[in-house]
Amino acid sequence: MASIEPVTAGWAAIGAAVAIIDPHDHVLLVRHSYGRLNWELPGGGALPNEAPDATARRELLEETGLRAALDRLTGVYFEPGHEAGPMLHFVFAVRWSADFAPAPASPEISELRYWPLDGLPTPISDFTERRARDAASATAAGVSLIATRIWRE
């Protein structure tokens, strides 16, 4: 019987984000107060030994003040060229609720707002646009390679 060797060629950091789409197909985005001052899905990097779903819930709370159950995984994205090194990004949908009252809950977030999918703000990356559209679609979650990010200013 042949032995199976584990793949040990490298590693990837983990990030997770949340997509909240309202009944009018608007997505909740947060605006960073640092870097490009860009618009982004609420999310961020995992803590050591933190599962992606726990990361998504923690980041949603830290950035928007919302506590919400995750509805479904909408995509997994591998970005080998991420500035922090290879990264696996997980995106989870949260079912919108009329009770949600998101507000910037961190100094990292200068504002947040729901935006129409066909009228997303700038600056924003094509990666954020893609994840928002994937989350809004009814298709099953897929795994995608993100070669580079293109920024709309």
Domains and CATH numbers, the chain: 13-148 (3.90.79.10)
pLDDT in tens, 81-100: 988 889 999 999 999 999 99
Asked whether 45 and 119 are in contact (CB, 8 A), the reply is no
pLDDT beyond 60 at 139? yes
Asked whether 94 and 132 are in contact (CB, 8 A), the reply is no
What letter does residue 6 receive in the DSSP assignment?
A: P
Asked whether 59 and 46 are in contact (CB, 8 A), the reply is no
Query: Amino acid identity, residue 58?
Result: R
Query: Amino acid identity, residue 44?
Result: G
- pTM for the full predicted model: 0.90
Pairwise pLDDT comparison (12 vs 52), residue with the higher score = 52
pLDDT in tens, 31-68: 999 999 999 999 999 999 999 999 999 999 999 999 99
The pLDDT value given to residue 10: 62
